[in-house]
Structure 1
Amino acid sequence: MDHPQSYLQQHRTLIQAWNRHIEDEWQARQRIEHAFLKEKQEAENQHQAALQTAETQRQTALQAAETQYQTALQDAKNQQSKAEQSAHDSLRHFTSIQRDAEKEMDERNITRIQQDAEKEMDERKIEREYSTTKPTQLPLEDQTRFESLLQALQSGPYQRFQDNCRDLDCAHERRVYSPYRGLIGSFFLNHLLCFGSTLLLVYIFYHYGGPGKSYFVVSIALLWYSLVLSFELFSQLNKDDKYTIDITYQSFLYILGVLVALFVLFRPELSLLNVVVLIPIVYLISSIIVAIIFALIQWIIGIEFSMTIKGDDRNSYFSGASTFFISPGL
């Protein structure tokens, strides 16, 4: 009986030891799990804190950006309003100045017309009153006064006509022409000069030109045509303190000649016969195009152009603030 009791006691001891071992292992596992959950909770808390901080920073940055954008937009609107207000003020000031100038001009014109009409009426009245009077029936003193008055009336319009003619001559003496127009005033020679100089320039470019060879010749030609154009567009001041501008079709044709010459310069496959045939065609087409351009300008803008069909008519010109003299030579 002692042996089974001893065996049973050992068995109980083993069971108790095993239970203590299991209990210790379970407690250790509980401690590990508790530590893991604690660390996990701390990590989650840190993560949430980091997210909250990032969200706060993002909201702050967005708010700052929105504030800057609203400030910049408001500044832009203020600047635009100031610019529009300044433009309106400038336009109002310009309109006021223009209205005052037109009013002053109208008043001057009306005053001049009234003075001319009154003077003409007085002259007609005096002439009508004394035209039926016989000088022989007047006393000597009245007859002498009548004759002097009649002579003054008869010489008045003629004297004004002479003064106008003298003013026109003086204006033409002050008129500036380019050298070739002063030397060559003929219609045919003027056109022959334009056509011949263009053809000669094309011939020189064709035989002696080429890329890299004739830039100096091209520069000299462009300088010469620029001088010719500047002479053609030269303005002179006439007796009414208004500008008269002399524009001719030859000015545009000279520049066109340079363009054709440059075209031939860089197109060496063209023959000289093609160039000779091409120049008159381009000459005539360009004249038509220039006439159409002037007609369109007159129709759209309303600028008055006074054209003459004569080659160089120095006795036909019109002066005015918006009136141009054109001598097409066609």
Structure 2
Amino acid sequence: MEGKVLLYGPIDPAGMDIMRQAGLTVEIPEKLDAGHLESIVADYDAILVRGMAPLPGAVLEKAARCRVVSRHGVGLETIDVAAATRLHIPVTNTPGANANAVAEQAVSLMLDVLKHTCFLNERMKREQDYGVRLRVTCHELAGRTLGLVGLGNIGRRVAEICRAGFGMTVVGYDPCLGQAELDAMGCAIEAQPDLESVLRRADVLSLHAPGGEKPLIGEWELARMKEGSVLINTARGSLIDEAALERALKDGRLLGAGLDVMADEPPLAEHPFYHMDNVVLLPHTAALTKESNRAMAVRSATALVQVLQGVRPEALANPAIWDLRRK
């Protein structure tokens, strides 16, 4: 099989090997801005997207030879899936490939916030302040209630870790999953009828939902969370109204927040969260483990090759057009 793949950036060598062994030529463009992509995309049979650089409809319109768009990851918000569907281009992704990595990071953030790990580490290293141990109050996860918003692969893995490792009670809300479905999957999660029910019960609230145009957690939602609770976000920065969260943290309604994602990335230098001791900030690294990068590379490359070979892949974002796809 011959063909050319436009790759948005380096991936694990295992993924590169899969494409090259299938006879494909893989090229990484010098720039990923839309204008440059529009000028070169007509030469490619497939596009493999990684990172947060967008693949807009205007680029796909110029991709006359493209027969598949493969996402190195789960989120599809940077890809114009509607345009791809209209053009009969299958779009694939890798659900579950980074679930454990993100789940572990979510639990790590819970512990960091409750035990002030990052703050204490900084005080020790920068100021040799051993006495700080007597001026902070740390907390435990054991016996608390975890509230999950979104019960996909990542949310369910967080539930598994927190129940088995810390004996937490787990409640959750997902409009696509009820108690019967969770029970059938063997998940010890108490399904809630709505978001508010989770907010009112959770000592620790962890977000695992896709992003949208409007924040899922704003002033109204924060006011319904328990006093002294913790908010964790390893999903999408757009889920939280950051100004409302700042107020809730400063007035003491929330104990703290652990954020791997922000509304704008990177955040502006003057962002208030940089200067708040009860906020743990990470630079969107939850999914970036060696193990998950390899899994995403292998699965995204495999799906790309499968489509070019006429084999339906495991995960399709637009399955309705499979029989109508470009060939």
- Identify the TM-score tier after normalising by the shorter chain: under 0.3
Q: TM-score, normalised by structure 1?
A: 0.19
The structure with the largest strand share of the pair is: 2
RCO higher in structure (CA 8 A, sep ≥6)? 2
Higher Cα radius of gyration: 1
